């Protein structure tokens, strides 16, 4: 929703620019030859094209700041393209003797360069966002388990179980945050054991959860060994 709200002032600014440009162009132009229409058409197209690019770039709701950050270069280059197109277009409109074919070629090159840049940035944005999301997913095991462990420590009424949970928490602090295909088996079993431990935090039932904590400690050490082996390769 934040991105969609940003589009409103962008549309407003582009609409004002279009209105002022049309009013000024038709009031001040003494002759309306090929160069006038060449500059006029390309400037008008650039305004609508920029609005379309901004819409495609920002219309999707983004809950993370990283996705929004990746959209900034596209908006910045859109602004630069508008600036250069206005300079070139107005200059062409004010020079009646300027070669009409050359005027079209110059402005078409500007439009083509802008399109190539936007396509390149879109590809980069998609690739970067995918890598960022994959990284966030691959580190979720450690983050979520740390939260679960700290919560279990606070809720546990069994001192022996509390000590075991603190031992697990210490192991987690120094474990590799990045998960992999090789660590999936250990992580799945650890999550399964933690789900059972969550129901056994009382003084009476805590003793039965201690054995589960011992298994988790063994599994975490196995996971650490796998992560260390992966780094060597």
Mean predicted confidence (pLDDT) in 172-194: 82
The CA-based dihedral angle spanning residues 58, 63, 65, 69, taken in that order and rounded to the nearest 10 degrees: -20
- Structure confidence by residue, pLDDT tens digits, 59-77: 654 444 545 555 677 778 8
CB atoms < 10 A from the CB of 153, how many? 17
Angle at 38 between CA 33 and CA 43, to 5 degrees: 130
Q: What is the pLDDT of residue 63?
A: 45
Mean predicted confidence (pLDDT) in 158-165: 86
Q: Domain ranges in the chain?
A: 2-137, 140-232
Residue 2 structure tokens: 């934040």
Exposure class string for 33-67: b at 16+ Cβ within 10 A, else e: eebbebbbebbeebbebbbebbeebbeeebeeeeb
Res. 96: pLDDT tops 50: yes
For the chain, give the mean pLDDT.
80
Q: Is 72 left (phi over 0), alpha (psi -120 to 50) or beta?
A: alpha
**Are 201 and 155 spatial neighbours (Cβ–Cβ below 8 Å)?**
yes
- Structure confidence by residue, pLDDT tens digits, 8-46: 888 888 899 999 999 988 888 777 888 889 999 999 999
DSSP 152-163: HHHH---HHHHH
**Are 18 and 47 spatial neighbours (Cβ–Cβ below 8 Å)?**
yes
Mean predicted confidence (pLDDT) in 182-195: 85
Res. 187: pLDDT tops 70: yes
Q: How many residues does the chain have?
A: 233
Mean predicted confidence (pLDDT) in 199-206: 65
Exposure class string for 117-149: b at 16+ Cβ within 10 A, else e: bbeebbeebeeeeeeeeeeeeeeebbeebbebb
Q: What is the pLDDT of residue 17?
A: 92
70 φ, ψ (degrees, to nearest 5): -70, -20
Distance CA(159)–CA(203), nearest Å, equals: 8
**Are 62 and 31 spatial neighbours (Cβ–Cβ below 8 Å)?**
no
Distance CA(36)–CA(47), nearest Å, equals: 17
């Amino acid at each position: 929703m934040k991105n969609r709200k940003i589009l409103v002032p962008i549309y407003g600014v582009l609409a004002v620019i279009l209105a002022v440009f049309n009013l000024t162009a038709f009031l001040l132009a003494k002759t309306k030859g090929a160069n006038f229409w060449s500059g006029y058409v390309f400037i008008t197209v650039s305004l609508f094209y920029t609005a379309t690019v901004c819409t495609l770039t920002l219309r999707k709701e983004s809950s993370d700041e990283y996705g929004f950050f990746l959209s900034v270069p596209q908006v910045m280059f859109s602004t630069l393209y508008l600036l250069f197109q206005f300079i070139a277009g107005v200059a062409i409109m004010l020079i009646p003797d300027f070669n009409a074919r050359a005027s079209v070629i110059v402005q078409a090159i500007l439009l083509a360069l802008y399109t190539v840049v936007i396509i390149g940035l879109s590809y980069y944005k998609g690739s970067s966002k995918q890598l960022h999301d994959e990284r966030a997913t691959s580190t979720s095991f450690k983050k979520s388990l740390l939260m679960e462990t700290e919560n279990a420590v606070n809720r546990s009424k069994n001192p022996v179980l509390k000590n075991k949970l603190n031992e697990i928490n210490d192991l987690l602090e120094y474990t590799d945050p990045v998960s992999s295909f090789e660590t999936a088996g250990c992580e799945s079993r650890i999550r399964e054991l933690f789900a059972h431990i969550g129901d056994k935090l009382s003084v009476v039932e805590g003793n039965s959860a201690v054995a589960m904590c011992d298994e988790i400690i063994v599994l975490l050490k196995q996971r650490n060994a796998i992560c260390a082996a992966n780094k060597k390769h």
